[in-house]
Structure 1
Amino acid sequence: MKKISDIMGDQTLLPIIQADNVEDGVAIAKAMAAAGLTTVEVVLRSENSAKCITAIKEALPDMIVSAGTVIDRASLDAAINAGADFIVTPAVTERLLTMLVDSGLPVLPGVSNVSDIVLAREHGFREMKLFPASLSGGAAFLKAVGGLFKDTKFCPTGGVSPENFEDYLSLGNVFAAGGTWVAKPQWVADKQWDLITEACSQV
């Protein structure tokens, strides 16, 4: 199974795209690409989310587009059919993890406690998303579990901001962090794509 950290390379921010329509989704991705980002996450939270993944991949063939908020068979199938390059989940269950492994795609499973980490490890995962990071102990939690799971790395998401981004990245078991602050809903509503590019460039 290919590591998400290998897919992302030197990129330490996994920017999250939330769009109500395909046009905005593509515009957000283009603004992020203009800042030099090559990997994004599109969360499956609207009826057009899967279409956004397909459209972004068509508009930006070199961009790696992951599907987030995959929680069941329906959302996993939607992500696969849309052409997602890898899968991101907010949580784990025995059934979901089995489906994810069987999908054959790289996966970043979401965990929020030590039991989740052990469960994900039992299915072969060594890279995980801590979510919601700020409510699950944040950097202090990741620092605490570093000694327990020496071969496991994380991408914290949820409550990550410019103020704590570097705190997370300074930890040896963090390879990236996910964030929505680089594409604020008001910027999207106002079509201020340059502000997205600027925010991404500052990471």
Structure 2
Amino acid sequence: MRNTVPTLNEQLSQLKVIPVIAIENADDAVPLGKALVENGMNCAEVTYRTACASQAIRNMREAFPDMLIGAGTILTPEQVDDAIDSGVDFIVSPGFNPKVVQYCLDKNIPIIPGVNSPSLVEQAMEMGLKTVKFFPAEPSGGIPMLKALTAVYPVSFMPTGGVSLSNVDQYLAIPAVLACGGTWMLPPKMIAAGQWEEIGRLVKEAVAHVA
């Protein structure tokens, strides 16, 4: 039997929750990655909201070569190049920037751009994308808005922004939702304080909740 590598969509749908992380200190990347991996969440979206994002990704990639790592909050082609050089598997952007999307397509790196309206979904589809991020999910209308979009468009969604333990089940119940991006299991204060055991507990709780 031939072994096949799971597609990004298949991996996301298996994971169900993608932890979205803003790392202020690159030295925290490995212990944070350890807390994720050892508690059943073998993935991370490291956002480019901090100056050390690329180094954090490099550290995480070196320590966990099989981890699914994305670069989030990507706004420019230069950041795409930096993220690829750092070892990411996919790119996530907060909005739909055709220039950045085309650059990723040309580089053959998967991109999940943010959309929150019919027009933006159609623009993404026009460029051949089949997976988009619904962002910011809750401020953009939450479950009702997403259901309205999924009723019309044959694409998959990754809701992010306001998703929590209290509503993640409702999002994941929508057939077109592959996974949800979330930050609730990774409180910034806990990361800064190095509370890895407590973070691990929250991660384990999230994994068990969506299992």
**Fold in common (TM above 0.5):** yes
Which letter does structure 2 place at the counterpart of 1:178? G
Equivalent residue for 2:23, pick from 13, 16, 19: 19
Which letter does structure 2 place at the counterpart of 1:88? V
Secondary structure of the residue aligned to 2:15 is coil
Q: Distance in 2 between matches of 1:6 and 1:48?
A: 29
Q: Distance in 2 between matches of 1:3 and 1:125?
A: 14
- 2:132 corresponds in structure 1 to 128
- Alignment check: 8 A CA contact 1:17 1:29 kept: no
Q: Does residue 168 of the first structure (1) align with residue 171 of the second (2)?
A: yes
Output the TM-score relative to the length of structure 1. Answer: 0.94
Q: Distance in 2 between matches of 1:156 and 1:3?
A: 19
Q: Distance in 2 between matches of 1:3 and 1:90?
A: 22
Which letter does structure 2 place at the counterpart of 1:111? V
State the number of aligned residues.
201
Unaligned runs of 5+ in 1: none
Secondary structure of the residue aligned to 2:175 is coil
Q: Does residue 74 of the first structure (1) align with residue 78 of the second (2)?
A: yes
CA offset at residue 160 of structure 1? 0.7
Which letter does structure 2 place at the counterpart of 1:22? A
- Alignment check: 8 A CA contact 1:4 1:108 kept: no
Q: Distance in 1 between matches of 2:127 and 2:11?
A: 20
Equivalent residue for 1:112, pick from 109, 116, 127: 116
CA offset at residue 62 of structure 1? 1.4
Secondary structure of the residue aligned to 2:44 is strand
Equivalent residue for 2:201, pick from 168, 174, 198: 198
Q: Does residue 155 of the first structure (1) align with residue 158 of the second (2)?
A: yes
CA offset at residue 9 of structure 1? 4.8
Which letter does structure 2 place at the counterpart of 1:34? E
- Alignment check: 8 A CA contact 2:13 2:179 kept: no
Percentage of matched positions with identical amino acids: 34
Output the TM-score relative to the length of structure 2. Answer: 0.91
Which runs of structure 2 are paired with 1:21-100 in the superposition (5 Å)? 21-100=25-104
Q: Distance in 2 between matches of 1:112 and 1:9?
A: 21
CA offset at residue 3 of structure 1? 4.8
- 2:185 corresponds in structure 1 to 182
Secondary structure of the residue aligned to 1:133 is coil
- Alignment check: 8 A CA contact 2:101 2:111 kept: no
Q: Distance in 2 between matches of 1:3 and 1:129?
A: 17
- 2:209 corresponds in structure 1 to none
Q: Distance in 1 between matches of 2:151 and 2:183?
A: 29
Q: Distance in 1 between matches of 2:8 and 2:73?
A: 16
Equivalent residue for 1:10, pick from 2, 7, 14: 14
CA offset at residue 26 of structure 1? 1.8
Unaligned runs of 5+ in 2: 1-5, 207-211
